[in-house]
Amino acid sequence: MPPGTRTVAGLDEDALTMATDAVLACLGDADPADPGQFDALYFASTSSPYNEKQVASVIATAADLPREAAVADLGGSVRAGLGALRAALDGVRAGSHRTALVVAADARRVEPESELEPLVGDGALAVAVGRNDVVAELVATASISEEFTYVFRTDEQRYLQVAEPRFGATYGYARDMGEAVALALRRAELPPARVAKLALAAPDARSAGDAARRAGCEPGQLEPSLVTEAGLLGTAEPLVLLARSLETARPGDFLVTGAYGEGADVLVFRATDRLPAARPRPVAERLARGLPLPSYARYLRAQAVLPGESIGEPVTSMVEWKELKQNVRLYGSRCEACGLVQYPQARVCLGCRSQDRMVDHKLAKRGTVFTFTIDNLAPVPEHPLPMAVVDLDGGGRLYLQVTDAADGDVKVGAPVELTFRRLHEVGGNRYYFWKARPVEVR
């Protein structure tokens, strides 16, 4: 195992928050997209923070999708990421959805100091699926499905389990993945040599090469594994590999992506002429934004292996419901009389005292630190806690916890963006809210 880096979700992150972050980045990349145009959202994860609760609905609300959106949570195996993408593509092709969002996110727990620990990473990726102006079009799909005991976690197990790793990699992963790739290429009437990139998720650093050879391809056609840069990213991995292929693909290139889980799903895409003008933001840029964890103890705390202090009152369902637009969709009020944008939502204007002249105003998710503090007293699991008063672009002022900040990042005038995070946990439930994070790429 060569030395490398693995990505670790922060203490205030989980599959839900990372998925929301990815969706917001997907909407915000290039031209900010109107979330109102999306009528479906698929969320895939094997490490959802809820065993029962529609997380896709939470993500759709935080991303301000319309209430009419169709949503689904998919899980079960890391194959769910591509399963979600295929379902969305099928939905669009069938005319069920106009445009859909697919997001895969995982922050899988592995036993501390186990062999798996350095291999698994945390990550999320969102894809917008539609009919028009696509950067890659679906050419063919193939699936293999058959019971095989390899990677699993029962409803009572906290950590990922792997049965017979070498046998599983060969007779489970490589055999099924090779067969699925070969089948997809036959359906696409595509000779293996015509494949520009094979973006195959894999359970380790080696086995994707085995699968490629079984399908008649060369290991050189593989998009390199992320294992030493980020770790194996679960449901998000095939999508991240595909995104990486799209960073350099040329129009007309065939890109094949595959994911495994008691069988395999493979999708064949062809890059379009539109790709060069609308490439995804480079994966390396995202990786470079990570902050080093200062200690193994911090890592264990982020994995919730070590307990952290979190004191606070629960948010009742009634308050949550009443304030949903304000707190989750993040709308303030704008006074029609004087124009002042204000938060939280109010009936009497803070600026001109006009009564009931307010209209809902969607707040921007970027802004500038007006003032701040770095607090060591707040009852939160990790100190210090930076807090910032943020003036949002386009109006409105918020007071937020700052997350993902390095020493010196939080200062008057610093640009920040908003990210949806876990705020606290109390009474057996988790509460999410917006935090600020410094935007400068380190």
Partner 1 sequence: MKDRVAVIGIGCTKFGDRFERSYEELICDAAFEAYDDAGIDPAQIEAAYLGTYLPGSGGGKAAVSLADALRLYDRPITRVENYCATGTDAFRNGCLAIAAGTYDMVLVLGAEKLKDRGGRGIPRLGHPLLARGNTAPGLFALAANRYIHTFGLRRETLAKVAVKNHRNGALNPKAHLRMEVTEEQVLNAPIIAWPFGLFDCCPTTDGAAAAIICRADMAKRFPKAPVLVKGAGLAVTSGRPYFDPTFDYLGFRSTQAAAQQAYAMAGIAPSDIDFAEVHDCFTWTEISNIEDLGFCRKGEGGQLEEEGQTALDGRLPINPSGGLKSFGHPIGASGVRMVTECVVQLRGEAGKRQVKDPELGLAHNVGGPGAVSCVVVLGRG
Nearest-approach distance from CB 40 to partner 1, in angstroms: 28
Pairing of strands 366-375, 341-342: unpaired
Nearest-approach distance from CB 307 to partner 1, in angstroms: 17
Question: In the sheet where 331-335 sits, what is the strand order?
Answer: 341-342, 331-335, 358-362
Nearest-approach distance from CB 432 to partner 1, in angstroms: 9
Nearest-approach distance from CB 81 to partner 1, in angstroms: 30
DSSP state string for 173-205: IIHHHHHHHHHHHHHTT--GGGEEEEEE--SSS
DSSP state string for 69-116: -EEEEE-SSTTHHHHHHHHHHHHHHTTS-SSEEEEEEE-----TTSTT
194/383 with CB nearer partner 1? 383
104/402 with CB nearer partner 1? 402
90/323 with CB nearer partner 1? 323
159/431 with CB nearer partner 1? 431
76/312 with CB nearer partner 1? 312
Are 7 and 37 in contact by the 8 Å Cβ rule? The answer is: no
Kindly give, in sequence order, each residue whose CB lies less than 8 Å from that of residue 422, ignoring residues fewer than 6 positions away: 11, 12, 13, 14, 17, 49, 430, 431, 432
CA separation for the pair 351, 345 (Å, rounded): 13
Give me the residue label for tokens 């594994």.
Answer: 225
* Binding footprint of partner 1 on the chain (CB under 8 A): 312-315, 319, 323, 327, 340-344, 350-351, 370-380, 384-385, 387, 389, 391, 395-399, 401, 412, 423-424, 431, 433
181/302 with CB nearer partner 1? 302
Are 92 and 98 in contact by the 8 Å Cβ rule? The answer is: yes
245/401 with CB nearer partner 1? 401
Nearest-approach distance from CB 322 to partner 1, in angstroms: 12
- Return the CA Rg of the chain: 22
Residue type, 435: K
Are 226 and 106 in contact by the 8 Å Cβ rule? The answer is: no
Nearest-approach distance from CB 145 to partner 1, in angstroms: 43
Nearest-approach distance from CB 16 to partner 1, in angstroms: 16
130/381 with CB nearer partner 1? 381
Burial bucket for residue 285 (CB in 10 Å: 0-12, 13-18, 19+): exposed
Nearest-approach distance from CB 27 to partner 1, in angstroms: 23
Residue type, 398: L
Are 285 and 441 in contact by the 8 Å Cβ rule? The answer is: yes
